[in-house]
Chains A and B, each alone.
Chain A
Amino acid sequence: MVIVKRKILSLWERLYLPEVLRGLSITFRKMFEPRVTRQYPEEGLPTDGVTRGQPRLVVKDDGNIACVSCGLCEAACPAYAITIDGQETDRFIEREPERFDIDMLRCILCGFCEEACPKDAIYMSNELELADYTREALAYDMEKLKRPASAMRERMDYVKKINDRW
């Protein structure tokens, strides 16, 4: 059993008004301290490599998509959000996606696709905002998912660092 001892107040404290004035002085000082409000639509959310936003496809520096449409991410996806159709290409890697769709309404942002990918082709970007007027508009196709590697660099480096631990 816990016995809470009630503090015996001194006369000064029992007068109440001095303590009120002390409280008032505190709230007055707080009025001039910096604000913590983030004015969201104007000020974006802070992101860094740890941010696991929406998955995006990496476009390499030579302009080609890194994906070879192996289908591992499609298989790893627990929400069945990814649909891939592959096709042949003249490039050295021989295969590339003809169609790469992610239904962003199905995506649960788990990052399994990122882990599954053997070609560093899909990464969880720092894009967090997802809103539109129709369901169709949120079923993203390949064109909407492509991002240059430079935009994903921070996340790529972070994932590489984490994976290097094993």
Chain B
Amino acid sequence: MSDAQAQLLVMFIKAAAIYGGLLGCAALMTLAERKFSAWMQYRIGPNRVGPWGLLQPLADGVKFIFKEEVTPDGASPWIFRLAPLMAAVPAMLTVAVVPIGGEFQLFGVTTQLSITNLDIGALYVLAIGGLGVYGVILGGWASNSKYSLLGGLRASAQMISYELALILGILSIVAISGSLDLLQIVEGQKGTFLGFLPDWNLFKQPLAFVLFVVATFAETNRHPFDFAECEPELVGGFHTEYSSMKFALFFLGEYCAMIVMACLTVTLFLGGHAVPYWADAPWWIEAGAFSAKAGFFLFLFIWVRWTLPRFRFDQLMHLGWKVFLPLSLFNLFVTGAVISL
């Protein structure tokens, strides 16, 4: 096997493993969501399909495939079909640049445990992640339904508002690590801070961390900011008219977006795959550390959803524009001032 062939093979294996992992995680998240919500409400949760209900996502998938596909009268046919893909694909694309583990050897090729490593990784994540809103708003518009349209409009207004806080949060991190390369950002978080804490950006940028985490909730349309769905007022929001596998794709997109946002939070603020106090950990330990950290944030998504009530839409906008934007600008300003001094 020549060197080029080996590199190609390694590339394919990495892509297959990471995408398989992402989709598997998204499927398991649907189960985890139901399990954790059940436990918080003194219930048991799904336990009929497989041990501990582990095959429930599979059963749900089969059910979705066999459901009738309904296209509402007057729906724009092509956009209606395209929208679920546009919601799901960008979320899956962003995971490509997230560094999950350190360097390792496979077929004599030294490689990094991430599909690719762009020098503008942070920018790529924002650019592709921002496309997700198109799926939601087009899905809402193409359904020819007032609920869907309102849900789509709300989702777009909300995503645009909170993307500002998200971007400014990332900018503060970029400012202190001096690179848009996610791997460089992770490398900059190895070692210790103040002698005893791991050198995570979380401790250097606590305000940015809080703003970023809250903004991720808004970006992924999760509680308490799930105005895109909003069952009480909008039936199901943008996916009211969707059924069968198209509906499932929206959900897949939502869960993939959650996973990517959790990965991104970990990469930017919690030292990514860096293991605290163990600088030269083997790659699989680093991958494990990364998964544990990301898992915590995924749990946080579920945990918050089953704890907090939904905001009102004006409260959401107030929070986004009058609180988050000034605070993140202030944070960026202070960060810049400290760095230049």
Chain A interface residues (CB < 8 Å from chain B): 17, 20, 23-24, 26-28, 30-37, 39
Closest to B299 in A: A28
Q: Give A40 Cβ to nearest chain B Cβ, in Å.
A: 12
B303 touches A35 (CB 8 A): no
B306 touches A27 (CB 8 A): yes
Given A23-B307, A33-B42; 13 other pairs, CB 8 A cutoff: A17-B210, A20-B307, A20-B308, A24-B303, A24-B307, A28-B303, A30-B39, A30-B41, A30-B42, A31-B36, A35-B43, A36-B43, A37-B44
What 4 A-B pairs come out closest when comparing CB atoms?
A: A31-B39, A27-B307, A37-B44, A36-B42
How many angstroms between the C-alpha atoms of A161 and B306 in the bound complex?
A: 48
15 A/B residue pairs, CB under 8 Å, sorted by A? A17-B210, A20-B304, A20-B307, A23-B307, A23-B308, A24-B307, A27-B306, A30-B40, A31-B36, A31-B40, A32-B39, A35-B39, A35-B43, A36-B42, A36-B43
- Residues from chain A with Cβ under 8 Å of B42 in the complex: 30, 33-37
Chain B interface residues (CB < 8 Å from chain A): 36, 39-44, 210, 303-304, 306-308
- Residues from chain A with Cβ under 8 Å of B303 in the complex: 24, 27-28
Q: Give B281 Cβ to nearest chain A Cβ, in Å.
A: 29
Closest to B323 in A: A16
Closest to A26 in B: B307
- Residues from chain A with Cβ under 8 Å of B39 in the complex: 30-32, 35
- Residues from chain B with Cβ under 8 Å of A33 in the complex: 42
How many angstroms between the C-alpha atoms of A31 and B40 in the bound complex?
A: 5
B36 touches A24 (CB 8 A): no
How many angstroms between the C-alpha atoms of A23 and B210 in the bound complex?
A: 17
- Residues from chain A with Cβ under 8 Å of B36 in the complex: 31
- Residues from chain B with Cβ under 8 Å of A35 in the complex: 39, 42-44
- Residues from chain B with Cβ under 8 Å of A20 in the complex: 304, 307-308
How many angstroms between the C-alpha atoms of A27 and B40 in the bound complex?
A: 6
Closest to A30 in B: B40
- Residues from chain B with Cβ under 8 Å of A23 in the complex: 307-308
How many angstroms between the C-alpha atoms of A37 and B39 in the bound complex?
A: 10
- Residues from chain B with Cβ under 8 Å of A17 in the complex: 210
How many angstroms between the C-alpha atoms of A43 and B86 in the bound complex?
A: 46
Closest to B300 in A: A24
Closest to A23 in B: B307
How many angstroms between the C-alpha atoms of A37 and B36 in the bound complex?
A: 14
B43 touches A24 (CB 8 A): no
* Neighbour of B304 across the interface among A24, A26, A31, A39, CB < 8 A: A24
How many angstroms between the C-alpha atoms of A28 and B40 in the bound complex?
A: 7
